[in-house]
Structure 1
Amino acid sequence: MIILIPSFEPDEKLPELIHALNDSGTGIKIVIVDDGSGPRFEAIFRQAETLGAIVIGYPHNHGKGQALKTGFSYIAANLPGHDVVCADSDGQHCVTDILRVAQAVEPNNSIVLGERHFSGQVPLRSSFGNSATRFFFALATGTWLRDTQTGLRGYPAQLLPWLLSVRGDRYEYELNVLLEARSAGYTFESVSIATIYISENESSHFRPLRDSLRIYAPLLKFSMSSFMGFLVDTVAFLVLMAATGSLWMAVVGARAISSAANFAVNRRLVFPEGRSAPLKGTALRYFALVVVLLGANYGLLISFTEAGLPALPAKILTEIVLFLLSFAVQKRFLFRERATAKEEKSATNIYSQAQLSTVTDSAQLHAEV
């Protein structure tokens, strides 16, 4: 078992964690990735090496996702066959919980998540962020996880090549792992862990605005695409109404034009993982979805108004429900990645070779400092 700790500008909690892991008597190996912390933190990493940890890294910060993938590459090349538990270096994961997650990892396709229950005093940004991400994850995958942002995770050794193929370099990487795990055939297991926040989580390097944009990018892009579709539909409706004088032709024609534009944008920009799916089949399913949503729109409006809801609130509620439904269907079924095993293996090998080169250079850098 390997404990992998990505670390950026750590404090004394990092050597304290290593001390505690060493005192556990389990004999586990510890690999630390210095994510470009800089010379001011060299003493902390030297102390970690003195305590028996393997320290690798690089001179400039690239983000947590890149640090994790660098660690996975190093372990696959130098410590093959070992399962990996990822833990944070800021004191949020106690040794007892780390070892419990490690014990739950088995040689199968399951990812073990250390799930917090967010009881007691939890910083507002952490509580809101986890709630929002839980909802987004359930919407995109149909799977409800209590804690989608946990940094304490266990991976069987055979998952390392796949982990290197997942997109993302910063905080979005860990969410992408969960989003892509289902379609890759992997399942989840959970272990309850303590919820620990030290000094309102001030040691966290999570940047609320920038990193949240990265995490929720698919939903934000889908929102913009939908708004673009609305504008195209409105303009096309006005033009066709003026040209034909037929309300029916204007409505149908405008919806056909806006749907085609929306499909192109979603396939190219919003859900790029679906580009590998056959264009003809995807387009047919998309326009079938458009027809279903049109019928659902009418049905929901009738239901809400007959239930006593005024027309405007009924329309707004209907659009919100169908917006979320449309996103979920397109994300989970319409634009799912269709990469073959051969293509995935090739992409993974290319990425692994690049990562191993980085690891070799970074390990030499630490040895020379």
Structure 2
Amino acid sequence: MTILIPSYEPDERLLTLIHHLKEETGVASILIVDDGSGEQYKAIFESAAEAGCTVLRHTVNKGKGSALKTGFDYVRQHGGHDGVVCADSDGQHLPEDILKITDAVRKNRNHIVLGSRQFTGKVPLRSRFGNSATRMVYSLATGKPIRDTQTGLRGYSSDMLDWLCEVPGDRFEYEMNMLLEAPKAGYDFVEVPIETVYLEDNKSSHFRPLTDSARIYFPFLKFCTSSGFAAVLDFVLLFLFQWLTSSLLIAVIGARVISSIFNFTMNRRFVFNDGQAISIKKSLPRYFSLVVVIMISNYALLYLFHESIKIPLFAAKLMTEALLFAFSYLVQRRFVY
């Protein structure tokens, strides 16, 4: 089993982790990727190499996702058949927890093994909030609840290496993209409880709250934007068609057909396109089957809220769209595109 540690501007905790892994747990294969840390940190990586680690280097900082891909590609080319466990270099992953993940990888082939922190005790607010937010977004996106979506302690079978090198993303968003892409690729998850360790209020983290959070949430934000424009179009057409025809049914159908054509085009080209061509023959029938389901649900909910309960049409429309939004995203990501 290869222990892969992406590292950017590390301190002595990296060497302490290496010592514990080699001397106390007997781990032999440790691969470290220096993600452009610079000359100031050269001595630490040289000490790691002297301790028996393989050290790969980026000349400039490319991001955690890029460092992980460099490591995965190295293992793939050098015949790592047992699997890979990824750990962070800042001392927040205990050697005994890393061993837990290695054992779980051997027992659960074709599964992504996640070291799941329990978030008990003193946890920095930004870490607690960040994980809660990404957990909610991931659950909405896939319908699969995961306790710790931001864990850096993860394990993979060797037959996943080709796929891991193809997952989009070069920085922190790579790990979220991996979780989003895994169900479509046929990989399920195993969560293994680990200790929650934050040293010095997590000051060593290179995670940039605004920039990196935007990257993580970008797939969902693109869908929100596309759906937002489609919803505005649907709103305008709904009121226009009702004014022209005085029929709620005709207004709902007409508005939905036109806005759905717009939404399909946007989602196919910009939202769910990960650099690969999406077949119209395959996605179009699935999308408009979903449109029919949502249209029926849309009319039923509007009729319930507006006609039966007598909620004003504007408020009824808002409630209806909110209820159908998450369902639409889940189905489109998993089955349409």
Q: Normalized against structure 2, the TM-score is what?
A: 0.90
Inter-partner Cα distance in structure 1 for 2:291 and 2:130: 32
Task: Compute the displacement of 1:252 (Å).
Answer: 4.0
Question: Using the alignment, how far apart are the partners of 1:317 and 1:250 within structure 2?
Answer: 17
> 8 Å contact 1:267–1:275 — kept in the other structure?
no
Aligned-partner residue type, residue 319 of structure 1: E
Aligned to 1:319: 321
Match in the other structure for 2:213: 212
Deviations 1:166-198 (A, max 9, x none): 111111111122222222222222211000111
Alpha-carbon distance, 1:253 to partner: 3.6
Q: Which amino acid aligns with 2:149?
A: T
The structural deviation recorded for 1:25 is: 4.4
Kept in 2: contact 1:65–1:168 (CA 8 A): yes
Correspondence for 1:135: 136
Q: Secondary structure at the match of 2:106?
A: coil
User: Which region of structure 1 is more displaced relative to structure 2, 219-228 or 105-114?
Assistant: 105-114
Counterpart-to-counterpart distance in 1, 2:234 and 2:316: 21
Q: 1:101 to 1:313 in 2, by over 3 A?
A: same
* Residue type at the aligned position of 2:139: A
- Render the CA deviation track for 1:188-211: whole Å, top value 9, x for unaligned: 222110001112211111111111
Q: Which residue number in structure 2 is paired with residue 58 of structure 1?
A: 58
**How far off is 1:314 after superposition?**
5.0
Aligned CA RMSD, in angstroms, stands at 2.6
Question: Residues 8 and 34 of structure 1 are in contact (CA less than 8 Å); yes or no, is this contact kept in structure 2?
Answer: yes
Contact 1:2–1:83, Cα closer than 8 Å, also in 2: yes
Aligned to 1:360: none
**Would you say the 8 A contact 1:267–1:274 is kept in 2?**
no
Structure 2 unmatched runs, 5+: none
Contact 1:274 1:334 (8 Å CA) reproduced: no
How much does 1:79 deviate?
4.5
CA–CA distance in structure 2, aligned partners of residues 277 and 181 of structure 1:
18
**Distance of 2:73 and 2:285 partners within structure 1:** 41
Alpha-carbon distance in structure 2 between the residues aligned to 1:145 and 1:313: 33
**Residues 1-369 of structure 1 mapped to structure 2, 5 A cutoff:** 1-106=1-106, 108-234=109-235, 245-248=244-247, 252-273=253-274, 276-301=277-302, 311=312, 315-335=317-337
> What TM-score results when the alignment is normalised by the length of structure 1?
0.82
Deviation at 1:294, TM superposition (A): 2.5
Identity %: 52
Deviation at 1:288, TM superposition (A): 2.6
SS of the equivalent of 1:81 reads coil
Relative to structure 2, which stretch is displaced further, 11-20 or 231-240? 231-240
Query: Cα distance 1:306–1:162, how it changes in 2: closer, same or farther (>3 A)?
Result: same
Contact kept? 2:30, 2:54, Cα under 8 Å: yes
- 8 A contact 1:268–1:275 mirrored in 2: no
Measure the CA separation in 1 of the matches of 2:291 and 2:44: 57
Change (3 A) 1:297 1:180: same
Counterpart-to-counterpart distance in 2, 1:25 and 1:254 = 63
Structure-2 change in CA distance of 1:224 and 1:275 (3 Å): same
For this pair of structures, how many residues does the alignment match?
333
CA contact (8 A) 2:256 2:295 kept: no
> Compared with structure 1, are the counterparts of its residues 299 and 21 closer, same or farther at alpha carbon in structure 2 (3 Å cutoff)?
same
Distance 1:188 1:330 in 2: 21
Higher relative contact order (CA 8 A, sep 6+): 1
Q: Deviations over 1:242-262 (max 9, x none)?
A: 9xx434566544432221111
